[in-house]
Amino acid sequence: MVFKNDSFIINPSIKIDHVKLKVLNLRKSINFYQSIFGFKVLEKRSNQKTAFLSLATDYKEESSLLLVLTEVKDKNTISISEIKKEAGLYHFAILLPEIKYLSAFLRHIQNNLESQYYDGMADHSVSESIYIHDPDFNGIEVYKDRSSTKWKWINNKVHMITEPLNVTYLLSKDIEEIWNGLPSGTKIGHVHLHVSNLVRSKKFYHDILGLYHTASYPGALFFAANSYHHHIAINTWIGTNILPANNNHYMPGLDHYAIILPNREEINRLKNRFIESKISTDETLDESDQQYPYSFYIYDPDGIKIQFLCK
């Protein structure tokens, strides 16, 4: 698929690098991500109540860090409805490299995940997905892309659907495959966000950040670099009168997500783009991000924090 865009275009090689979540009980969250997904604790900083989760136990290994958990203090009793009143995370999506792993994961959670954590399953035409949430109601999609040769593009928009997943067929695939944790090659495929205004957010993600608008759905828009179906999605499914992101710093949810660029030149090119667009950049790194000296943060129109980095 070849896109045409006369304005700024982000580097086509960008990917979602990792996601940082705020949780209420770090020990409980670590146990969930270890037992359900097989994440390994790459590092744990007790003074910050922060844990770094990965596929491996070494920062040097490719795509080692995928998830950062940081504990926040619960000042009040928090309900699901209160959590969903502000902009932020709808879900982050874990992309598996082969369908046999999605099949094994489904069998694994059928036997090991309490029903309260299930959110559903879907066939999106471009991919097959399982949806769950963690103890703090952070949404998680676990999915496998179908071959891009099978994706349908019409007028530069990819055809995506939401239909029931063929669970019987999926469970019949590679029935000897046992879930032994996230396999090598697993990535954060995309993030999907709650926002308050689609038009305003489209201007940011498409016009300023330079992602292609790849698909539309009732109440939702999808954006990607190059010809992927989406790296970032936005929706207004919980309403347009929601609070900005991180309005309550003691509430669990998304702290930020990180986008990786190939080099310092691309970091500077993007930074200049934000400066030209009169969007403030923040170069004061959180303690948990100081391993990325060439990085900075910005905030989208709803105050959702985004980190841009290179390694």
- The pLDDT tens digits for 33-60 are 999 999 999 888 877 799 999 997 666 6
Looking at residue 81, what is its pLDDT? Answer: 46
pLDDT range class, residue 75, cuts 50, 70, 90: low
What are 11's two structure tokens? 């580097």
Looking at residue 246, what is its pLDDT? Answer: 80
Beta-carbon contacts of residue 10 (< 8 Å; ≥ 6 apart): 209, 210, 211, 225, 270
Per-residue pLDDT, averaged over 83-90, amounts to: 84
Per-residue pLDDT, averaged over 211-239, amounts to: 97
Beta-carbon contacts of residue 296 (< 8 Å; ≥ 6 apart): 267, 271, 281, 282, 283, 307, 308
Per-residue pLDDT, averaged over 268-284, amounts to: 95
Looking at residue 2, what is its pLDDT? Answer: 46
Beta-carbon contacts of residue 41 (< 8 Å; ≥ 6 apart): 30, 34, 51, 52, 53
pLDDT range class, residue 61, cuts 50, 70, 90: low
Looking at residue 273, what is its pLDDT? Answer: 96
Give the HSE-up count for residue 294: Cα atoms under 13 Å, Cβ half-sphere.
13
pLDDT range class, residue 233, cuts 50, 70, 90: very high
**What would the pLDDT profile of 130-157 be if each residue is shown by its tens digit?**
999 999 999 999 999 999 999 999 999 9
Looking at residue 286, what is its pLDDT? Answer: 87
Domains of the chain by range and CATH?
15-309 (3.10.180.10)
Closest CA to 189 of 240, 250, 141, 123: 141
**Contact present, 102 and 128 (Cβ < 8 Å):** yes
Q: Is the pLDDT higher at 225 or at 249?
A: 225
The CA-atom distances, in angstroms, between 11 and each of 43, 132, 281 are 30, 31, 19
pTM, 2 dp: 0.94
Mean pLDDT estimate for the chain: 91
Looking at residue 79, what is its pLDDT? Answer: 54
Per-residue pLDDT, averaged over 91-104, amounts to: 97
